Structure 1
Amino acid sequence: MNPDELEQGWRAAAGAVLRGPRLQALARRLADEEAAGVAVYPSPTCRLRALALTPFASVRVVILGQDPYHGPGQANGLAFAVPPGVRPPPSLQNILRERAEDLGGAASAPADLAAWARGGVLLLNRVLTVRAGQPASHAGLGWEALTDRCLEALACQGRPLVFMGWGAQAQAALAPLRARAGERHLWLFSPHPSPLSAHRGFFGSRPFSRANAFLTSHGEAPIDW
């Protein structure tokens, strides 16, 4: 986790956290787990991929996830996304279904979501690693110090952005920022897109068209979803 690998905007926003003792301790913890034969997802080269694909100054929409998929070959460093050729998990299937119903078109858009990321959508998990088969296994180990700082830096700068919080955990993480930054940003909160909750209000929430309407009303280009 070398802060020098980040682009300039993220280095300015969060480089000090990456260099700090909590993230250094986390790096040692991950190295020890992997040396002991524990499978950790995603691979080290993908752990900061969300920041690499979406430079700080390019962010127009933030979609906040929880932690990476914990099955082999699923996590690719972007929240909710999977690598090309991998079957979309149920939550991603529901996201793509809502996108199709909101904007029209097929629900089988590329599931790696890299085009969204390169187009200004920060697909950020709050926790950036997980042990194989153990969801939330790296929660509370230090990643939150980095990702919360990234979110804070975005919320405190002047450009109007869209923050999407799907589910209670994402909303709890974003709520303090909303209280501080106010309504110059658009905060789109809904139930999580998982099969357990999507029918409670995620379906029909139209986050994609609402985000684009907000962006264009503030002189920003819409996202090519």
Structure 2
Amino acid sequence: MPPSPPTPAAPKTIADFFTRPAKRLRAAAPAPAASLSTFASDAKRSPEQRRRADTNLALARARRNLRLAESKAKDSGGAAKLEELLVEETWLQALQGELRKPYALELCRFVTQERQHGRLPVYPPQHLVFHALNFTPFDRVKAVIIGQDPYHGPGQAMGLSFSVPEGIKIPSSLGNIFKELEKDLGCTIPLHGNLERWAVQGVLMLNTVLTVREHQANSHAKKGWEQFTDAVIKTISQKKSGLVFLLWGNSAQSKIRHFSKTNQILERLGLSTIDWQL
């Protein structure tokens, strides 16, 4: 189905977006000559050049996190604790202690049991369970796309809502999203469904449930994931301002131009917009 309109968010709900923070940075001490030179060089860049440079830095950071999560999963022999797989420091600070709560420990035992002794594979791969958080640091989040269950076909789930790895057939739901993107902003429909480029620009692509059995939708629902992702949303709502929440699902309406509307909201808040072209 086509995506539903972007829904601005408020601290206690995800219905309204936050107002721009009132505080401004204090004037800094005079910068050394080297810093002034760097600043002058940066000032000569176009907004697009600055956006690309920022995205490249964020991508390098995200890939370091991915390698670290892969290493932890490998070293554990596939039995890593959930708290070991969340490696992005800003989220560890924001969600301090969440994965050590009783419900999360029970969730960890369930997922480990499923992976080691279940009859069916569990998706996504262990190192990608927290891909959404590891790829989009807490301090960079400015839009949130909420999904439901991970894709449950072989090779599809990659830890980002609606996203599939390059080389995997684009699901119909994502295909409809791309059609809306083309109508809204005139973007070229991509040949792949990897949405990591959105993630590194500050789009948190979070499913409400983060694991699933192969070919069994909702098989890991009501096991504790919903409580964890609720904690993520609550933390964002309480600790950040200037956000846009996008809810995509069966009730989606067509012709709502949610990509351009999201950028309009971000512009009004004085935040950099998202380059939606993949």
TM-score interval (norm. to shorter)? 0.7 to 0.9
Residue 95 (structure 2) aligns with: 14
* CA 3–152 in structure 1, closer or farther in 2 if over 3 Å, else same: farther
What is the distance in 1 between the residues matched to 2:96 and 2:162? 25
| C-alpha distance 222-94 of structure 1, shift in aligned 2 (>3 A) | same
The CA deviation at 1:112 is 0.9
2:239 to 147, 150, 157: 157
Residue 49 of structure 2 corresponds to: none
CA distance 1:123–1:56, shift in 2 (3 Å): same
Contact 1:4 1:11 in 2 (8 A): no
- Partners of 1:114 and 1:4 in 2: how far apart? 18
Q: Deviations over 1:79-117 (max 9, x none)?
A: 000001111100000111111111102122641100000
Question: What's the CA shift string for 1:143-185, capped at 9, x where partnerless?
Answer: 11211111111112342100011237xxxxxxxxxxxxxxxxx
The aligned amino acid for 1:213 is Q
- 1:128 paired residue among 210, 215, 218: 210
TM-score, normalised to structure 2, is: 0.67
Count of aligned residue pairs for this structure pair: 194
Q: Is this contact kept in 2: 1:67–1:127, CA < 8 A?
A: yes
Structure-2 separation of matches of 1:216 and 1:91: 28
Q: Matches of 1:20 and 1:119 in 2, distance apart?
A: 31
**Partner amino acid for 1:90?**
S
The 8 Å contact of residues 96 and 109 in structure 1, kept in 2 or not, is answered as no
The sequence identity of aligned pairs, in percent, is 42
Counterpart Cα distance in 2 of 1:27 and 1:64: 22
- Runs in 1 of length 4+ with deviation above 6 angstroms? none
Map of 1:175 onto structure 2: none
Instruction: Name the structure 2 match of 1:90.
Output: 172
What CA distance in whole angstroms lies between the structure 2 residues aligned with 1:104 and 1:126? 30
Question: Is the contact made by 2:168 and 2:192 (CA closer than 8 Å) also made in structure 1?
Answer: no
Instruction: Say which of 116, 119, 139 aligns to 1:35.
Output: 116
Alpha-carbon offset, residue 9 of structure 1: 2.2
Is residue 44 of structure 1 aligned with residue 44 of structure 2? no
Matches within 5 A, 1:1-225: 1-2=82-83, 5-36=86-117, 37-108=119-190, 110-167=192-249, 191-192=251-252, 201=253, 203-225=254-276
Q: Distance in 2 between matches of 1:42 and 1:101?
A: 31
Contact 2:167–2:192 (8 Å) recurs in 1:
no
Secondary structure of 2:216's counterpart equals coil
Aligned-residue RMSD, C-alpha? 1.5
Q: Which has the higher contact order (CA 8 A, sep 6+)?
A: 2
Aligned AA (1:74): Q
